[in-house]
Structure 1
Amino acid sequence: YTVPGVSSVYHISLGKSGRLWVSDGIGNLVQTDLQGNQLQKIQTSIGYGYHTVTQDGGLIYTNKHNKVINKITPDNTITEFIKTGDWVPISIHSSHINGDILVGMRKDGEGKVTRYNTTGTDIQNIQRDNEGQGLYSDPHYITENINGDVCVSDFRKHAVVVVNKSGQHRFSYTGQRSTFNPYGICTDVLGHILVCDDISNTVHLLDQDGQFLSLLLTPQQGVKYPISVCVVDENNLWVGQHFTNTVKVYKYLQ
């Protein structure tokens, strides 16, 4: 699919009825249908995994400059939904399990994940491990696994940081070679974790305990610079790339 109005595909949120929300690295957030017709375009603050489709089919996205989370209803009205105080919201995910909203935030070089319920009330903050060490530095993509684990792609930690639903640190995955730059992250119906690596231009496949299973996509499969991933239904893997507005869809689970 070619997405008009963006220069690259840093994040993909799939809505109901085949609507696709795509953002690039320079603040363009575009909604298209699967025929490539642009339905809506919004100028936002620059970011990575900063939008997500909610259970009711609306879109929520973070604004780093105003430190707010905005909501776009299905009839295209934009309203201010949540204020995040001193913390800059940089990533967001709407839970498929219960509709909770997970937000990755940053302040003074530290990161945290805040969980809000569907009405926007803050119900959990995840910031430190049992030793009191900060879990996050730059949580720029966030998702949730089928077992309730919160999976964060943290660029400055060079790690995928995973905590369970009560916020206990389970594991951090730091790649297969000396340097690992994780970007887009998603999970599938079997609990696998898929994450893009900016160094090797590959998509790593992990099990839900952080064990490396395989390089799912490499340049041999025709992706040059994968930066965002999204598994929509059981068997389609959507991949967005740097430097091109083409989204590739792969047959995934058989």
Structure 2
Amino acid sequence: METVSTQLKPTEKQRKQDREKSYVKQTLSLSSSVTKVRKYKVPGVRHVFHISLGKSARPWGSDSRGNLVQTDLQGNQLQKIQTSESEGYHTVTQDGDLIYTDRKNKVINRITPDNTITEFIKTGNWEPLSIHSSHINGDILVGMRKDNEGKVTRYNKTGTEIQNIQRNNKGQTLYSRPHYITKNINGDVCVSDLNKQAVVVVDKSGHHRFSYTGQGSEFYMYPYGIGTDVLGHILVCESIRETVHLLDQDGQFLSLLLTPQQGVKYPYSVCVDDDNNLWVGQSITNKVTVYKYLQ
């Protein structure tokens, strides 16, 4: 059953951010080509299954074995945490803290500025898989799974549950394995669901907007990392075919932004930074490549 969160009036800070984003949106457009900005390795991980960024420009990268490492922009290790295995399981909050899911213990942990790890949210009988913190209002979105069924739960920045999204208006389950999650500029919740072989998008009220299943009737989508940008584009990794798909905010396919012809090898994770650069992590190495695709 879908529950709808109460919409709060925007603060002056949010209104200012909205005005700034509106200005950026008017001045930015897709570039005719994708340019490589930098490449670095994340020490202490076997591959880069997920990337999360804060305003400190100190990215976090993780692999499938629970190694979670923070580096500087040159790839020098700043800190390392051993966590339980998962995929899109960490995010940097509006306040700059790192929070991450612990599937085994069914909790979400927070790392405070003094590097103390504290238990932040308990998820009951549900395994938390993926997590995303909005830098606009601080809301936290968590993709969860129990008995082969998935859901998305929204919490406010203090960890209070305010919304559950599980079924569409016909009572059908929306998710099976929501292993990567993000939020778009229009408030849409965008989920990469491996078992559904689809990107599943709902609006801020939890109503299903669309599902993207790839290109062509014979195309089986195996979606992994997912991100959005200031123009509302949805970027999703299709690692099997080594591509990054670019969609508009209504789910229309725009292009294969990155392909093997551009030297991309098994992209698994994506993230867009405050300078509108695209960060891409790989599943077969511990390399991260940063691209510029907007002008």
- Same topology, TM > 0.5: yes
| Residues 63 and 70 in structure 1, CA contact (< 8 A), matched pair in contact too | yes
The Cα offsets for residues 174-221 of structure 1, whole Å up to 9 and x where unpaired, read as: 001421100000000000000000221100000000000000000111
The answer as to 2:199 corresponding to 1:160 is yes
**Higher relative contact order, chain-length normalized (CA < 8 Å, sep 6+):** 2
The answer as to 2:80 corresponding to 1:80 is no
How many residues of Structure 1 are paired with residues of Structure 2 in the alignment? 254
Equivalent position of 2:286 in the other structure: 245
The answer as to 2:265 corresponding to 1:221 is no
| Residues 97 and 146 in structure 1, CA contact (< 8 A), matched pair in contact too | no
How many Å separate the matches in 1 of 2:233 and 2:135? 15
How many Å separate the matches in 1 of 2:281 and 2:135? 22
SS in 2 for 1:220: helix
Q: CA deviation at 1:36?
A: 1.9
Equivalent position of 1:139 in the other structure: 178
Equivalent position of 1:209 in the other structure: 250
| Residues 229 and 276 in structure 2, CA contact (< 8 A), matched pair in contact too | no
| Residues 94 and 136 in structure 2, CA contact (< 8 A), matched pair in contact too | no
SS in 2 for 1:75: coil
Q: Please identify, of 154-163 and 227-236, the stretch whose mean Cα deviation from structure 2 is larger.
A: 227-236
How many Å separate the matches in 1 of 2:72 and 2:167? 41
Equivalent position of 1:52 in the other structure: 91
| Residues 142 and 151 in structure 1, CA contact (< 8 A), matched pair in contact too | yes
The answer as to 2:129 corresponding to 1:125 is no
SS in 1 for 2:142: strand
The answer as to 2:72 corresponding to 1:33 is yes
SS in 2 for 1:16: coil
SS in 1 for 2:287: coil
| Residues 189 and 234 in structure 1, CA contact (< 8 A), matched pair in contact too | no
Equivalent position of 2:4 in the other structure: none
Q: CA deviation at 1:249?
A: 0.6
Q: CA deviation at 1:133?
A: 0.1
Identical pairs, percent? 80
Q: CA deviation at 1:34?
A: 1.4
- Report which of the two structures shows the higher radius of gyration computed on alpha carbons: 2
How many Å separate the matches in 2 of 1:129 and 1:27? 33
| Residues 47 and 282 in structure 2, CA contact (< 8 A), matched pair in contact too | yes
| Residues 9 and 228 in structure 1, CA contact (< 8 A), matched pair in contact too | yes
Q: CA deviation at 1:222?
A: 1.3
How many Å separate the matches in 2 of 1:73 and 1:221? 39
Q: CA deviation at 1:15?
A: 2.1
The correspondence for 1:186, drawn from 219, 223, 227, is 227
How many Å separate the matches in 1 of 2:215 and 2:159? 38
Equivalent position of 1:97 in the other structure: 136
How many Å separate the matches in 2 of 1:248 and 1:197? 16
Q: CA deviation at 1:37?
A: 1.7
SS in 1 for 2:261: helix
Residue type matched to 2:208 in 1? H
Structure richer in helix, relative to its length: 2
For normalisation by structure 2, the TM-score amounts to 0.85
Residue type matched to 2:137 in 1? N
Unaligned 5+ runs, structure 1? none
For normalisation by structure 1, the TM-score amounts to 0.98
Q: Please tell me the root mean square deviation across aligned C-alpha atoms, in Å.
A: 0.8
How many Å separate the matches in 1 of 2:172 and 2:233? 27
SS in 1 for 2:56: helix
